[in-house]
Amino acid sequence: MRIPGSAIVILGASGDLAKRKLIPALAVIFEQENLFDSSVIIGSGRTDFNDHDFRGKFDVHGKVKDILFYHKGISGLKRYIEQKGNFSRVIFFFALPPSVYSDTAKQLFEEGFRDEARLIIEKPFGYDYESAKTINHELHEYFHESQLFRIDHYLAKEAIQNILVFRFANSIFYPVWNSRYIKEIQINASEKIGVEERGSYFDRAGIIRDMVQNHLMQLLCLLTMEAPVSLDAEDIRIQKLNVLKVLSITDCMRYQYKGYREEPGIAPDSPTETYAELVLSINNFRWYNMPVYIRAGKALNRKGTEICILFKSLPRLLFNKSGGIKPNRIVFKIQPSEGIILDLSGKIPGSDFFISETKMKFCYHDVFGDVMQEAYQKLLLDALLGDRTLFVSAEETELSWEKIGQVLDSGSIEYYEKGTMPATHPLTDWIDFEDYETACG
């Protein structure tokens, strides 16, 4: 696949995101010959750079450096791009604070950019329902929804994209993917680190805004949505929306690690949660009366993002008369070691029908080696192609904020020691995901 000559503009190019993620991802896309040589990558910001200084910031191949340019600010940017070539599409990556999204879109419009423009914006898409609605309305004043690409980099992870393949390309799983056979779904996102240098941002957000409202709600939609009629972005969006429409939150507990208020950038009386547990329900025929549990937090005892599909227990018959056989599980390991593990029961060889657990595993690195595509590389390539499948729509963001709004900043805060997992009043018997640490490690 080769993409015709394009101008890719990184707004806020002097920041860390451009250096760590964006330019390296674009370099790979160019080196794989997905971009014509006539394409250009233009950094834009408030810093005074010439092209040579800007190129010197990045450790990329010489041919990539040749297409790197710099333009200070937005004023005069359209004429500058036109001098570089005739481009059918101009991609703007907003490596900027969300507070300036609307004003930046207005500046681009006033500069003369119209149908050729595509705007890639990063989360957070608002602070709550009202702010998300306001941002979307202001962006739509200048650019059509089809021109807006809201990035959720979680959706570009191979392990997450594979959820749909696992569900809809394997006939042995599709018939049991409902509350008749599944007892509950658990989604876990644990980090060992605290807020570190993100204190000022995180204290205004909290873990529910930072992780649950976007990444984990999107995961839940992919796990529970009905089969789309096609893989077209609009058909997938419709099915995700149908999940969000019938989703409700039945319980939420918020925690904060001890010492959080002494971190740089944190208010001394901060009520912000660094860990949360939520119980949700999906009120449709497929998932009626089945709970979904979500937990996410920082400064915990381990790092990992996993999903567990816990099936219902066997009746107390035959091999399970004592009730000792554990229910089957499917565990999706999202990070750090991607894979899928299926827990089964089997007979111990030579025994008189003694049963033990057996793990069947599919590990990405064992099957595919080190060919996993980096998330920003995938998302930038899709934006260049105009493929919106892995991007989040305005309606999804607003509906997700509306659903999560009832638990934002509500209820009391309990406390936990750094490096531990809170268990003051656990909402469920959480799966011990440490048991799966080495499954694909």
In the prediction, which pLDDT does 345 show?
A: 80
Residue 165 shares a structural domain with residue 118: no
Please state the domain count of the chain: 2
Q: Say yes or no: 342 and 431 in one domain.
A: yes
pLDDT per position as a tens digit, 368-393:
876 667 888 999 999 999 999 999 99
Domain span holding position 407: 155-372+392-436
Query: How far is CA 296 from each of CA 176, 255, 279, rounded to the nearest angstrom?
Result: 27, 10, 12
Q: Would residue 252 count as lying in a domain?
A: yes
Q: Confirm whether 417 is domain-assigned.
A: yes
Q: Quick check: is 61 catalytic?
A: no
- Looking at 122, 147, 165, which one is the last position of a domain? 122
Residue 234 has pLDDT above 80, yes or no: yes
Say which CATH number the domain at 85 has: 3.40.50.720
Instruction: Look at residue 316 and tell me whether its pLDDT is greater than 80.
Output: no
Q: How confident is the model at residue 94 (pLDDT cuts 50, 70, 90)?
A: very high
* Same domain membership, residue 117 and residue 164: no
State what percent of residues in the chain have pLDDT above 70. 97
Residues 175 and 163: their CA atoms lie apart, in Å, by 15
The number of residues in the chain equals 441
pLDDT digits 0-9 by tens, 254-282 = 999 999 999 999 999 999 999 999 999 99
pLDDT on residue 1: 60
Q: What is the pLDDT of residue 15?
A: 86
Examine residue 441 and state whether it is found in any structural domain, yes or no: no
Q: Do the domain assignments include residue 266? A: yes
pLDDT at 4: 74
Evaluate whether residue 105 is within a structural domain: yes
Domain of 230, CATH number, reads 3.30.360.10
Least confident among 81-85, 225-229, 305-309, 359-363: 359-363
Is the pLDDT score of 155 beyond 80? yes
Parallel/antiparallel/unpaired status of strands 182-190 and 291-297:
parallel
Query: Does 107 map to a domain?
Result: yes
Q: Per residue in 393-410, pLDDT tens?
A: 999 999 999 999 999 999
Instruction: Taking the CA atoms of 199, 214, 311 and 174 in sequence, report the sign of the dihedral they define.
Output: negative
Q: Which pTM value belongs to this model? A: 0.92
Question: Per-residue DSSP letters for 288-341?
Answer: TT-EEEEEEESS-S--EEEEEEEEPPPPSSGGGTTS-SPPPEEEEEEESS-EEE
Asked if pLDDT for residue 92 goes beyond 70, the answer is: yes
Do 244 and 352 lie in one domain? The reply is: yes
Q: Looking at the structure, do residues 118 and 159 belong to the same domain, yes or no?
A: no
Q: Are residues 57 and 169 in the same domain?
A: no
List 71, 153, 215, 425, catalytic entry = 215
In terms of domains, do 97 and 174 share one?
A: no
Instruction: State whether 116 and 169 are in the same domain.
Output: no
Residue with tokens 């991607």: 338
| Beta strand ranges found along 36-126 (DSSP E) | 40-45, 68-72, 89-94, 117-122
Looking at the structure, do residues 168 and 65 belong to the same domain, yes or no?
Answer: no
Rounded Cα distance, 385 and 305, in Å: 29
Q: Is the pLDDT of residue 431 over 70?
A: yes
169 pLDDT higher than 70: yes
Pair 242, 105 in one domain: no
Q: Are residues 215 and 265 part of one domain?
A: yes
The per-residue pLDDT for 347 is 76
Average pLDDT over residues 48-55: 92
Nearest Cα to Cα of residue 397 among 147, 205, 135: 135
Domain identity same for 174 and 293: yes
